[in-house]
Structure 1
Amino acid sequence: MAVRLKPVRDQIIVVTGATSGNGLATVEEAIRRGAAVVATSRNAAALEALAEGMSAGGGRIAICVADISDPSAVERIATVANDAFGGFDSWVNNAGAGTYGTLERVPLADHRRVFDVNYFGVLHGSLVAARHLRGRGGAIINVGSILSDRTIVQQGPYSATKHAVQALTDTLRMELEREDAGISVTLIKPGAIDTPFPEHARNFMDQPPRLPPPLYAPSVVADAILFACETQRRTLYAGGGGWLSSLLSRAAPRLSDRIMEKLGTVLQQKPKDPGDPARRDNLYVPRDDALRGSQTVHARDSSTVLQVQKIRPAGLFLGILAAGVAVSMTRLGRRRL
């Protein structure tokens, strides 16, 4: 069957990781546009506060406390959606966890935990969503990262999971297309976004972590996610800085590595601004959630690259632009190396 997606205002949307950062921005904007939302998170208190606030404004919202690394918990999310709204139209796999530190310093158990959340959580959500949407149609949106394209020092486990999420998403898309399931599958690749991620991540560096600039507001990612809920797209980059970083790494990988080796650590440390201690380290248990980080940063409220991708000829435009930049970067990299 052909993929037919409803306008956001007519949809029921499942959002994981709904009480913080990109997930919270998506829930708020989806409800503002008229959608009903099933919001899920490990943080019961934050979910209840979110539901109370959205309902008070007339929003339609159901909540489900769930750790997406647990397959039975993910099944429960679908049950809540069916009980509250009779099903769902889009499923957004957004929840994530991370660490800062070298591969050697991060304990193996923490490597596994990041994979349990970021890869297996997305796998659980994707399979449950596909089973419910198959034959009815709808959208599955997976939130990857610019780190799906290249890795960054001090975030090896997180980068590895985002590479895996890209492979998972591409495989899922092919399988569903082959069976003509009528389901759109999109991978969102945010750059650095001003969320509590640096505070939530477990830190093994000797300095407080931060995200490298340029940063964008969570509303940019929410815009990409909700666009994908109603418009079939393969991939959407949220933030021009991340897109350029990806392009550089493809055009001149050795040059990109050298830059990362020299600047990657210092750009991810903020010695005099550690952020809110109540948010620190949510790898295994929830901590305080919020829309944005508490560190002092500058974040852009819009992304020109994202807006260009939302135009139908955007793929051709970006392809031509990417080819030109890639040629230039390759020549520059060869001269420098």
Structure 2
Amino acid sequence: MSYRLKPLNQQTVVITGASSGIGLATARRAAREGAKVVLVARNEDALREAAEDIEAAGGQAAWCAVDIADSAWPEKVGKVADDRFGGFDSWVNNAAASLYARLDEVTEEEHRRVFDVGYFGTVAGSLYAAKRLRERSGGALINTGSVLSERAVGVQGVYSAMKHAVKGFTDALRVELQEEDAGVSVTLIKPNGIDTPYPEHARNKMDRPASVPPVIYDPELAAKAICFACEHPRRELLVGGQGLLLTKAGNLFPGLTDLIMQNFMMEDGQSSDTPPEPGAEDNLFEPRKDGRVRSNQDNFVRKSSLALEAQMHPAVAIATGMGTIAAAGLIGALARSRRA
């Protein structure tokens, strides 16, 4: 399969969920690297401010305020991209909604809302983008999954199920587009816990403010992975070494991983003493105060991920690993020679 992906500074990139968190970080990073960006979310004021900030910094940005649960949203966004920039080259489905609650506490309406935004919104955006990118002789489609696409966690069961569905859909669509030789690269981004306003925006039925359990990573790492995928075909990119370990552990030792989840990843492991910023709480059905990339919690945040770098640059990682092994062997040989 051959893909013709342009350098990022020659692209127009559509990004959903762009009013905060990973989406906003990605829009800013792509614009800094020279891409034209189309920001998509519900919060019109936050989108306008973000686009104005990008343009004030020398970038090019447009915005489109839509509810991703509305099945007609992709056409509205496509029209903005066409009118402002003549189309798009990469499309990033990043929008999601969530809640912290045990499954028997979740109403059917809440359950459906999480899927309407995170899954059916991704499906509608993906199918529209794939059709348009075929017409443009290729491009990149990037869907944001999660480490929870691989390993479900209690208290976020509905979100975990939705991200499992996103992964299944993305994998199937990739196969179909490859079989057609459509020239559309399909990448699933799977972030570990990221320091975004996600726990503030999620509906919370716990007794304490919600949080993301550690290890927590910088949103810029997820943005870096997404921008990389706009230029380089990758099947998946997992952001954060802890997520990689959790995924492998769940595959090899599912029972033991369940036990760890039960003891360390329930309400106590996903709660905080820091309440949401006023006006930001619970955007499940309505947009709330927005515009921040990072959370309001005092977290220790990892700024780098060797696991991500190895996935983006496997040849360098292999060479570095071989070099490390060779150096260790040389040191060992010298030590033995000295002893002799």
Calculate the TM-score normalised by the size of structure 2. Answer: 0.91
Alignment correspondent of 2:333: none
Q: Offset at 1:313?
A: 3.8
Q: How far apart are the structure 2 equivalents of 1:242 and 1:91?
A: 24
- The one-letter amino acid paired with 1:86 is G
RMSD: 1.4
Q: Offset at 1:2?
A: 2.5
- The one-letter amino acid paired with 2:86 is G
Q: How far apart are the structure 2 equivalents of 1:134 and 1:59?
A: 27
Alignment check: 8 A CA contact 1:24 1:291 kept: yes
Structure 1 unaligned spans of 5+:
318-337
Q: Offset at 1:315?
A: 9.8
Alignment check: 8 A CA contact 1:139 1:184 kept: yes
Q: Offset at 1:275?
A: 2.8
Alignment correspondent of 2:179: 178
Q: How far apart are the structure 2 equivalents of 1:176 and 1:314?
A: 29
Alignment correspondent of 2:161: 160
Give SS of 1:161's match. helix
Q: Does 2:296 correspond to 1:305? A: no
Q: Offset at 1:314?
A: 7.9
Q: How far apart are the structure 2 equivalents of 1:312 and 1:89?
A: 25
Q: How far apart are the structure 2 equivalents of 1:3 and 1:260?
A: 40
Q: Does 2:243 correspond to 1:242? A: yes
Q: How far apart are the structure 2 equivalents of 1:312 and 1:86?
A: 35
CA offsets per residue over residues 90-146 of structure 1, 9 Å max, x none? 000001110101000011110000000010010011011011001410000000000
Q: How far apart are the structure 2 equivalents of 1:168 and 1:178?
A: 15
Alignment correspondent of 1:331: none
Give SS of 1:39's match. strand
Report runs of 4+ in structure 1 exceeding 6 Å deviation.
314-317
The higher radius of gyration belongs to: 2
Alignment check: 8 A CA contact 1:67 1:74 kept: no
Q: How far apart are the structure 2 equivalents of 1:108 and 1:207?
A: 23
CA offsets per residue over residues 19-54 of structure 1, 9 Å max, x none? 100000000000000000011110000011111111
Q: How far apart are the structure 1 equivalents of 2:187 and 2:305?
A: 18
Q: Structure 2 matches for 1:6-155, cutoff 5 A?
A: 6-135=6-135, 136-155=137-156
Calculate the TM-score normalised by the size of structure 1. Answer: 0.91
- The one-letter amino acid paired with 2:270 is Q
- The one-letter amino acid paired with 2:298 is T
Structure 2 unaligned spans of 5+:
320-340
Q: How far apart are the structure 2 equivalents of 1:79 and 1:312?
A: 38
Give SS of 2:143's match. strand
Query: CA 1:130 to 1:57, structure 2 compared with 1: closer, same or farther past 3 Å?
Result: same
Q: How far apart are the structure 1 equivalents of 2:178 and 2:318?
A: 22
Alignment correspondent of 2:208: 207
- The one-letter amino acid paired with 2:310 is V
- The one-letter amino acid paired with 1:276 is E
Q: How far apart are the structure 2 equivalents of 1:78 and 1:127?
A: 12
Query: CA 1:296 to 1:127, structure 2 compared with 1: closer, same or farther past 3 Å?
Result: same
Q: Structure 2 matches for 1:196-275, cutoff 5 A?
A: 196-265=197-266, 266-270=268-272, 272-275=273-276
Give SS of 1:71's match. coil
Alignment check: 8 A CA contact 1:149 1:246 kept: yes
CA offsets per residue over residues 204-223 of structure 1, 9 Å max, x none? 11221100001001000000
Q: Offset at 1:57?
A: 1.7
Alignment correspondent of 1:328: none
Q: How far apart are the structure 2 equivalents of 1:16 and 1:117?
A: 11
- The one-letter amino acid paired with 1:300 is R
Give SS of 1:262's match. helix
Alignment correspondent of 1:334: none
Q: How far apart are the structure 1 equivalents of 2:186 and 2:245?
A: 24
Q: How far apart are the structure 2 equivalents of 1:167 and 1:229?
A: 21
